[in-house]
């Protein structure tokens, strides 16, 4: 099977079916645009399990995603899409680059979720862009942007409810969308603690990739905790 694409945390392979790709979650952890890099045992299987569980719930709630099914500890089958080069970030609580950019303290609940767009370009460090920049870059049509915003907020509502039951705060997260050959828009990439910030609802303890980014503790312990709270297991 041919390796189609290799990212920082995943590899994408062809299968013998043109309509199905195999996505493999690696143990690599990276932060700060690749400046920090480590291989963390068990990370791939934790993200595969968590992402599969989230995609399952999202599909059940009517969100169209690229996810087909989990096939092993580290692999899932997905539908091929052409990724739109935008990171769609939704925020419920101030943290990370939002807090830094606006000089806000971390941990303030926003009265309404904030949606942001970042242009996916490693060489530029994924800059924040607005609708006009996106139109000028020719990345997405106005209707597609509107649709992605609507779907991102729908995903937020579903994940907020799931997190509430798991005693977790969903601080913020990043989504990526892709287009199928016929133009159908699907939620793609992954939904995991690599791409979402989760805090314990009471102690505000961080349980996501910030553990690794800022050397706050064991990434695997945080991810295992999230997986068990949302009712998932590593081995099916």
x/- binding map, residues 145-184, to ligand UDP, per CB under 6 A? ---------------------------xxx----------
Query: How many degrees, rounded to 5, is the angle at CA 90 between CA 85 and CA 95?
Result: 115
Q: Any contact of residue 14 with ligand UDP (CB under 6 A)?
A: no
Q: Any contact of residue 78 with ligand UDP (CB under 6 A)?
A: no
Write down the least CB distance from residue 88 to ligand UDP, Å.
9
Among 154, 159, 155, 178, residue whose Cα is nearest residue 170: 159
| Number of residues located near ligand UDP, criterion CB under 6 A | 14
Regarding beta strands 75-78 and 67-70, do their DSSP bridges make them parallel or antiparallel, or are they unpaired? antiparallel
- What are the strands, taking DSSP E only, across 44-195? 67-70, 75-78, 82-83, 86-93, 109-119, 128-129, 168-179, 185-188
> Please, which residue, 11 or 97, has the CB nearer to ligand UDP?
97
- Return d(Cα 69, Cα 17) in angstroms, integer: 15
> Please, which residue, 1 or 102, has the CB nearer to ligand UDP?
102
Write down the least CB distance from residue 97 to ligand UDP, Å.
3
User: In the structure encoding, which two tokens stand for residue 202, read together?
Assistant: 């009471």
Of 4-12, 47-55, 57-65, 87-95, which segment contacts ligand UDP by CB under 6 A? Answer: 87-95
What residues line the site for ligand UDP (CB under 6 A)? 87, 89, 95-98, 126, 172-174, 195-197, 209
């Amino acid at each position: 099977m041919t390796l189609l694409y290799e990212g920082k945390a995943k590899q994408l392979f062809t299968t013998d079916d043109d309509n199905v790709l195999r996505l493999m979650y690696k143990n690599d952890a990276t932060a700060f645009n690749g400046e920090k890099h480590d291989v963390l045992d068990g990370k791939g299987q934790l993200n595969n399990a968590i992402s599969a569980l989230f995609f399952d719930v999202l599909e059940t709630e009517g969100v169209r995603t690229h996810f087909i099914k989990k096939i092993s500890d580290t692999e899932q089958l997905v539908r091929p899409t052409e990724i739109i080069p935008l990171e769609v970030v939704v925020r419920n609580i101030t943290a990370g680059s939002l807090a830094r950019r606006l000089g806000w303290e971390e941990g303030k609940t926003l009265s309404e979720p904030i949606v942001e767009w970042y242009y996916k370009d490693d060489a530029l460090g994924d800059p924040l862009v607005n609708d006009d920049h996106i139109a000028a870059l020719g990345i997405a049509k106005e209707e597609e942007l509107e649709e992605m915003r609507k779907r991102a907020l729908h995903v937020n509502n579903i994940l907020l409810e799931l997190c509430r039951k798991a005693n977790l705060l969903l601080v913020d997260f990043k989504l990526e969308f892709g287009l199928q050959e016929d133009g159908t828009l699907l939620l793609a990439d992954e939904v995991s603690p690599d791409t979402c910030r989760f805090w314990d609802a009471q102690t505000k303890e961080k349980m996501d990739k910030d553990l690794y980014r800022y050397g706050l503790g064991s990434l695997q312990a945080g991810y295992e905790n999230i997986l068990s709270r949302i009712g998932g297991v590593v081995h099916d």
